[in-house]
Amino acid sequence: MNQTEMFWQTYLQIEKEMLDIAKYIYITDENADKQLNVYSSHIANLLVRVCVEIEAISKELYYRLGGSKQRGDKSLMFDTDCLKLIDINYATFKKEVIITCPLFNITKDANKRFNPLKNAYKRQGTSWERAYQAGKT
C-alpha cells in the first residue's frame, strides 16, 4: 500500500468513528456552550489523531511540492513551512468545508460552511495560551 492509500484509509477510519459518535451523541450548534463543557477521552483521542494526520499529510505534500528543506530537518515547521507551501500551490485558504451529514444537527447556516485552512500557516499568536492561563487562575 502506498502512502496516499494509507492516508486515505486513516481518513476513512476517523470518519467512521466520528459518524459512530454521532449515533450516540446529539451533535448540534443550538446549545454549543453546553456541549463545549463536556469532556470525552474518546473524542479527545480522535482530535489528537486528526491533528497528527494533518501534520503528516502536510509534511508529505511539502516534500512532493519541492519544499526547500530536507526530510528529517528539525527546523521544518508544520504550519509556517508546510501549510504555507500548500496554500501557495493549492489556494487552501479558499477551500470550504460544508457540513451535510444528517447526523449532525447544525441549524445555523453560518456553522454549516467554514474555511478551516484560512490563515492556517500564520502563527495566530497565543490565544490558546491565554485561554489556558485564564483557566489556571
Question: How does pLDDT run across 20-67, given as a tens digit for each residue?
Answer: 998 888 888 887 777 767 788 998 999 999 999 999 999 999 999 999
Which position has the grid cell 492561563? Answer: 133
What 3-state class would DSSP assign to 77? coil
Per-residue pLDDT of 95-116, as tens digits, reads 998 988 888 888 888 888 888 8
Neighbours of 85 (CB within 10 A): 21
Q: What is the DSSP letter of 93?
A: G
Lowest mean pLDDT segment, chosen from 43-47, 79-83, 127-131? 127-131
Domain boundaries, the chain: 3-136
Query: What is the model's pLDDT at position 58?
Result: 93
CA nearest 82: which of 44, 132, 122?
Answer: 122
CA nearest 59: which of 47, 72, 43?
Answer: 72
The answer on pLDDT for 130 being more than 60 is: no
Mean pLDDT on 89-94: 91
